[in-house]
Amino acid sequence: MEKDLRDRTLDELEKLVVSLGQKKYLAGYLFKFIHTQHGRDLAALSTLSKAFRAQLVEHGHFISHLKTIDTLTDADGSAKYLFELADRERMETVLLPEEDRRTLCVSTQVGCPMGCVFCATGRIQFRRNLTAGEIVDQVDTVEEHAGRITNLVYMGMGEPLLNYDAVLKSIRILNHSAGKNIGIRHITISTSGIAPAIERLADEEIRPRLAISLSAPTDALRSKLMPVTHKYPLAELLEAVRKYQARTGQRVTFEYVLIDEVNDSVTHARLLVKLLRGLMYNVNLIEHNPFSGCAFTGSSRPRIQRFAATLKDAGVETTIRLRLGQRIKAACGQLQAGYDPRAQSKRE
């Protein structure tokens, strides 16, 4: 959305302002208005002259904004927002308040083309990428409604690294000190494992934390759960992570969705440790969250504990992720934005 002012970094706004024959510093007013004052209507930006505002409008520039269709709040404090985009597509965002931080889980695509069989988003048809402006506005709209966000996770609907440019641009905008100023160490991208994009990320001047959804220790099992494995087998994926670490020195998180009797045995845990040997990492275990039409169930408590203990015994830093927002279908892998699931998975 070329004419959407929310979709531009401060640098890009400066170029635009100069190209319209105005003073460069005025871009800062625009950027602040949009990102720190919930500005949506150019007419309300009184620090810019009327003539300049009229000029912007004349050239077709505007500030996009998401329409909030529905907000659901869980007893545990989490909230799910259903948004409608300008072309009437829909997507969801989840607020996860904890004691010392307020994390927002943002979407990067409408639907997801990756088709992981344990994920509700993977069951709906992929519609399109979100723009940087649409990603940024998820934060702005929720902040306006519910107050300051401290942490961001790119773990909502979609595969962030398949929408690479918009995702990186949204991070540049959200991290900028003249705008929301969300610390780069407080931003995490989660990917199903697009190996070349992981290598590309290593060369960026601005780098968020990286989480990789693994969920199986062998290609045979992983390709049944996550079809991306056919394209980027584990060896290739982990080679990309190795290169990423060699260049950045940054630790990564591996996420592992625990599905009852599918990938949650002690043998699986041991294979995982072996597979990841030599990397700097921690593991985040996520109990599989149910959704209608999915034959899987989350692992039992004892199986989760045993899996976690096996990793810890091997010296792996392991956390079990809290299961927030389950009652409002806002937990990991439950986002469908009201779209109809397509054909059922082969497994059922």
Q: By CB under 6 A, tell whether 328 contacts ligand SF4.
A: no
Pairwise CA distance, residues 240 & 211, whole Å: 13
Q: By CB under 6 A, tell whether 255 contacts ligand SF4.
A: no
| Residue 114 or 304 with smaller CB distance to ligand SF4 | 114
- Tell which positions 185-214 bind ligand SF4, by CB under 6 A: 192, 213
Q: Which of 134, 333, 336, 337 binds ligand SAH (CB under 6 A)?
A: 333
- Tell which positions 144-183 bind ligand SF4, by CB under 6 A: 158-159
Structure tokens at 132: 């940087």
At 310, the amino acid letter reads T
Q: By CB under 6 A, tell whether 151 contacts ligand SAH.
A: no
| Residue 32 or 128 with smaller CB distance to ligand SF4 | 128
Segment contacting ligand SAH by CB under 6 A, of 86-94, 166-174, 281-289, 301-309: 281-289
Q: Which of 30, 48, 110, 116 binds ligand SF4 (CB under 6 A)?
A: 116
> Nearest 5°: CA angle at 209, between 146 and 321?
65
DSSP per-residue letters across 141-206: HHHHHH----EEEE-SSS-GGGSHHHHHHHHHHHH-TTTT---GGGEEEEES--HHHHHHHHT-SS
| Residue 66, phi then psi, degrees to nearest 5 | -80, 145
Going by DSSP bridges, is the β-strand pair 128-129/281-287 parallel, antiparallel, or unpaired?
Answer: unpaired
In the DSSP assignment, the letter for residue 44 is G
Pairwise CA distance, residues 278 & 240, whole Å: 13
Count of CB atoms situated within 10 Å of the CB of 334: 21
> Under rule CB under 6 A, how many of the chain's residues touch ligand SAH?
16
Query: Distance from first CA to last CA of the chain, Å, rounded?
Result: 40
Q: By CB under 6 A, tell whether 187 contacts ligand SAH.
A: no
Examine the residue annotation and report whether 92 is marked as an active-site residue of this protein. Answer: yes
Nearest of 303, 201, 298 to residue 247 by alpha carbon: 201
Q: Which of 39, 97, 122, 325 binds ligand SF4 (CB under 6 A)?
A: 122
Q: By CB under 6 A, tell whether 255 contacts ligand SAH.
A: yes
Which residue's structure tokens are 């591996």? 254
Structure tokens at 2: 């070329």
| Residue 26 or 294 with smaller CB distance to ligand SAH | 294
| Residue 42 or 286 with smaller CB distance to ligand SAH | 286
Compute the Cα dihedral for 181, 184, 186, 190 and give only its sign.
Answer: positive
Structure tokens at 176: 């900028």
Q: Which of 26, 42, 119, 240 binds ligand SF4 (CB under 6 A)?
A: 119
Q: By CB under 6 A, tell whether 92 contacts ligand SF4.
A: no
Which residue's structure tokens are 């979609």? 158
- Compose the 212-241 pattern: x for residues touching ligand SF4 by CB under 6 A, - for all others: -x----------------------------
DSSP per-residue letters across 267-283: HHHHHHHHHTTTS-EEE
Q: Which of 61, 80, 172, 288 binds ligand SAH (CB under 6 A)?
A: 288
**Which residue's CB comes closest to ligand SF4?**
122
- Compose the 205-234 pattern: x for residues touching ligand SAH by CB under 6 A, - for all others: --------x-x-------------------
Pairwise CA distance, residues 209 & 186, whole Å: 8
Q: By CB under 6 A, tell whether 294 contacts ligand SF4.
A: no
Query: Which of 92, 134, 159, 287 is the catalytic position?
Result: 92
Residues near ligand SAH (CB under 6 A): 118-119, 155, 159, 190-192, 213, 215, 255, 257, 286, 288-289, 332-333
- Catalytic machinery residues: 92, 332
Which stretches of the chain bind ligand SF4, using CB under 6 A? 112, 114-116, 119, 121-122, 158-159, 192, 213, 333
